[in-house]
Amino acid sequence: MREIQCRLLVIGAGPGGYVCAIRAGQLGVDTVIVDAEPPGGTCLNVGCIPSKALIHAAEEFHRIAALSSTAAMGISAGPPTLDLAATMAWKDGIVSRLTGGVATLLRKAKVRLVAGTATIRDGKTVEVATPEGPVRIRAEVLVIATGSEPIEIPSLPFGGKVISSTGALALTEVPERLAVVGGGYIGLELGIAFAKLGASVTVVEAGPRILPQYDAELTGPVAQRLTRLGIRVLTGARAGGLSDSGALRVAGSDGAEEIAADKVLVTVGRRPRATGAGIDGLRLAMAGPFLKIDERCRTSMTGVLAIGDVTGEPMLAHRAMAQGEMVAELVAGQPRAWDKRAIPAVCFTDPEIVSVGLSPDELRSQGHEPLIGLFPFAANGRAMTADDETGFIRVTARPDTHEVLGIQAVGAGVAELAGGFALALEMGARLEDIAGTIHAHPTRGEALHEACLRALGHALHI
Ligand code: FAD
């Protein structure tokens, strides 16, 4: 068997693994990374990037379709046509550019990429099944970055008309009737996109409302938009299997119902790949379904680290990347530890939601009555000129020190504000710091300025 020796071996080339490998390579660490799929992991291949491409295309189609029935801003258009196969080909082109770009960056950093499926033999030895035959890799440090995969409902196994997010991102025709099981961010992002492309969409959510990880004030504008898009939302409803006629069986508070569907998209969460691939054999300590790590991403076995979705919530690409960068620097001997104050979460629904830090409810549950400032986009000039005044920016601060503890927003394009929100929390900003910062006019970001002024009791434009 061919053998490779290295200092650092990374299993999984998703955002966690590839960032770890690039940074380690930059720092002169002899690094090997293994993945059977093109580099980029879930995020680049079947997650963040292709879903956002589809969301964008759907929005363009929907906007033109709307202009064909009602002229807005003095613009009218003929009814648009859609070739979803061509849309998907455009999306695939973006994915290829990015995955090819990651491969180039790995090469530039002198990282060796081994294409194949890895099986861990012990904490320092991994065997990889490659198309050219098995390869044994011996490493001083092992990083597990195997990510996560969609959870299957036993009564609705993937196959046929039952699809995961990966299947939805590969459709070449818009299903006439789409049932989405699970009202979390992945289901809603895709459900909204397909509704805009013309599908009749029903969302089945077991909880009392959609997007349960966000508070009702934030999710309200999304719920209203779903209604306007004609998306039917069943909350407190559990999906069972398919009936003989292929309809989706749903048990809700109002009784049982069968929902006719051409495709059933199951998005009930993701499971960490924390078992299999020989990981079980290491008998690592677990934190629920995740690998247990400390503030330096060390597992319970010396020399074995873990990053990304396999290590816990929030299962987001930017958390994986930040862990990957930190671990590379630790392996290179730099003093690092996980000291982030905030991990932004963005929901690319219509309208978008951003949450950084604590919400008012979370603070209240910790026994603190926060200072809150909320500024609606209805009073923001840029939102008016963009013809979408839905939503707001909300800031939450400590009443005694005015330290900002959370910033949330819902509205068109607010995802782009996430970096600024996170910076404010990372820098330990007080309300006065943001209120004293000149925000460019006219921008949606001015709503953050005004939200802080409002929390201080002297908003100017409301
Ligand atoms: P992954 O990206 O899952 O990568 C793990 C890699 O390990 C995979 O490439 C896999 O092939 C490889 N691997 C596993 N086992 C082995 C083995 N035995 N041998 C070799 N290789 C192996 N996150 C965001 O932050 N923003 C978003 O907008 C967003 N949108 C999403 C939309 C969808 C539809 C989905 C499904 C996910 C989305 N996510 C989003 C989540 C994001 O994709 C993940 O949080 C992120 O990819 C996790 O990175 P990771 O490196 O931990 O693992």
Question: CB of 137 closer than 6 A to ligand 1?
Answer: no
Question: CB of 308 closer than 6 A to ligand 1?
Answer: yes
Superfamily of the domain at 162-268 = FAD/NAD(P)-binding domain (3.50.50.60)
Spatial CA neighbour of 370 closest among 338, 406, 397:
397
Centre of ligand 1 to C-alpha 24, Å, is: 20
Helix (H, G, I), strand (E, B) or coil at 448: helix
CB 445 within 8 A of CB 421: no
Centre of ligand 1 to C-alpha 290, Å, is: 14
Q: Which residue has the tokens 């290491």?
A: 282
CB 203 within 8 A of CB 232: yes
DSSP bridge partners of 327? none
CB 223 within 8 A of CB 197: no
pLDDT digits (tens, 9 = 90+) for 181-234: 999 999 999 999 999 999 999 999 999 999 999 999 999 999 999 999 999 999
Nearest CA, atom 12, ligand 1: 12
Q: Which atom of ligand 1 is nearest to the CA of 308?
A: 52
Q: Does pTM surpass 0.95?
A: yes
Rounded Cα distance between 352 and 339, Å, is 27
Domain with CATH 3.30.390.30 in the chain: 345-455
pLDDT less than 50: residues of the chain:
none
Catalytic, 441? Answer yes
Spatial CA neighbour of 148 closest among 302, 17, 325, 5:
17
Nearest CA, atom 3, ligand 1: 147
Rounded Cα distance between 308 and 297, Å, is 10
Spatial CA neighbour of 411 closest among 387, 393, 434:
393
Question: CB of 371 closer than 6 A to ligand 1?
Answer: no
Centre of ligand 1 to C-alpha 244, Å, is: 35
Spatial CA neighbour of 411 closest among 435, 371, 445, 442:
445
Centre of ligand 1 to C-alpha 273, Å, is: 10
* Concatenated DSSP letters of 57-86: HHHHHHHHHHHHHS-BTTB--PPP---HHH
Cα three-residue angle 251-255-261, rounded to 5 degrees: 50
Helix (H, G, I), strand (E, B) or coil at 389: coil
Looking at residue 435, its pLDDT comes to 98
Best probe residue, ligand 1, of 48, 126, 354 (max atoms within 8 Å of C-beta): 48
Q: Which fold has domain 2-46+88-150+271-331?
A: FAD/NAD(P)-binding domain (3.50.50)
Q: Residue 440 gets which letter from DSSP?
A: P
Nearest CA, atom 36, ligand 1: 47
Q: What is the second-level CATH architecture of the domain 345-455?
A: 2-Layer Sandwich (3.30)
Looking at residue 42, its pLDDT comes to 98
Looking at residue 71, its pLDDT comes to 81
Q: Which atom of ligand 1 is nearest to the CA of 348?
A: 28
Cα three-residue angle 418-422-427, rounded to 5 degrees: 150
Domain with CATH 3.50.50.60 in the chain: 2-46+88-150+271-331, 162-268
Counting Cβ atoms within 10 Å, is residue 44 exposed (0-12), middle (13-18) or buried (19+)?
buried
